[in-house]
Amino acid sequence: MNIHFYKYQGAGNDFVIIDNREASIALNTSQIAFLCDRRFGIGADGLMLLQNTAEADFEMIYYNADGNESTMCGNGGRCIAAFAYHSNIVGKQTTFKAIDGIHDAVILPNNNVSLHMSDINTIQFENGYTIMNTGSPHYIKEVVDTDLVNVFEEGRNIRNQAIFQPKGINVNFVTPKEKGLKIRTYERGVEDETLACGTGVTAAAIASVKQQTGIFQVAVKAKGGDLSVMFEKRTADTAENIILTGGAKFVFEGNIEIED
């Protein structure tokens, strides 16, 4: 089967996007893993299908690089909104359906896209770390300097701890800076460090204000780029009106042959 694909990246978190509005493409786990493979395929942290839905402008179906369908991807959501805009499927403001519900996105100047993330109903403040689900589950640990962390080893150990099984968790290491945060993330389903993770950046920004309430804006520096998160906290352990903003760029497009 020959497939036309588009490659996008948001702060270095990269994705294969396929327009499946005609519902003609059904990919299995090994075909998706092949397309995301950086040596044998196109290379990406994840793959998204853009599909039709009666509930919004389009639907985003998200798969991790291991080929399995997963939960919400914040950078993926910003990239698929940019793709839908570049493909004249939607205008500068769009609403799309993802696994965690309906999201609004806005195309901004200079290849920036902002995305309304799902509300957070529970923030778990533990001894030395915070856990919350920003559409995907995240573990956030404050460290003295993210540059000194072995993100692959430490992230993998935490991701595989018995308490987080069977689903696993994404692991974020965060250092507060003068203005904002620095972050590095180990992503489940990629099973490696990625250059940025939108749901992780969102979780880290919200965790950084601890139990405070109010309206906040936090700048977050990931390895692959800068993002910003605006949110409101009406109570100590919830967050709402969450907007994630950052770059979402077209990289290249092409055709690839995949085995049935």
Ligand X SMILES: N[C@@H](CCC[C@H](N)C(=O)O)C(=O)O
Question: Which strand (E) or helix (H) includes residue 82?
Answer: helix 74-86
Q: Which of 71, 114, 118, 208: binder of ligand X (CB under 6 A)? A: 71
Q: How does strand 123-126 pair with strand 180-187?
A: unpaired
Q: How does strand 214-222 pair with strand 192-194?
A: unpaired
Of 80, 197, 206, 229, the active-site residue reads: 197
Cis status of the peptide bond prior to 166, with omega within 30 of 0: yes
| 114: contact with ligand X by CB under 6 A | no
Per rule CB under 6 A, count of chain residues that contact ligand X: 19
Is 5:71 a contact under the CB 8 Å cutoff?
no
Measured between alpha carbons, how far is 188 from 35 in angstroms, rounded to an integer? 18
| 9: contact with ligand X by CB under 6 A | no
The span of 111-119, 145-153, 195-203, 213-221 binding ligand X (CB under 6 A) equals: 195-203
Interhelix angle 74-86/198-208, rounded to 10 degrees, is 130
Catalytic (active site) residue 79: no
The span of 21-29, 83-91, 97-105, 183-191 binding ligand X (CB under 6 A) equals: 183-191
| 31: contact with ligand X by CB under 6 A | no
Of 5 and 8, the one with the shorter C-beta distance to ligand X is: 8
Question: Which strand (E) or helix (H) includes residue 59?
Answer: strand 58-64
Residues annotated within the binding site are 13, 64, 74-75, 170, 187-188, 198-199
Catalytic (active site) residue 36: no
Of 88 and 108, the one with the shorter C-beta distance to ligand X is: 108
Residues annotated within the binding site for substrate are 13, 64, 74-75, 170, 187-188, 198-199
Measured between alpha carbons, how far is 148 from 247 in angstroms, rounded to an integer? 26
- Minimum separation from the CB atom of position 27 to ligand X (A): 17
By C-alpha distance, which of 176, 177, 194 is closest to 185? 194
The span of 73-81, 175-183, 206-214, 251-259 binding ligand X (CB under 6 A) equals: 73-81
User: Three-class SS of residue 259?
Assistant: coil
DSSP label of 201: H
Q: Rule CB under 6 A: which residues touch ligand X?
A: 13, 45-46, 64, 70-71, 73-76, 136, 170, 187-190, 197-199
Active site residues: 73, 197
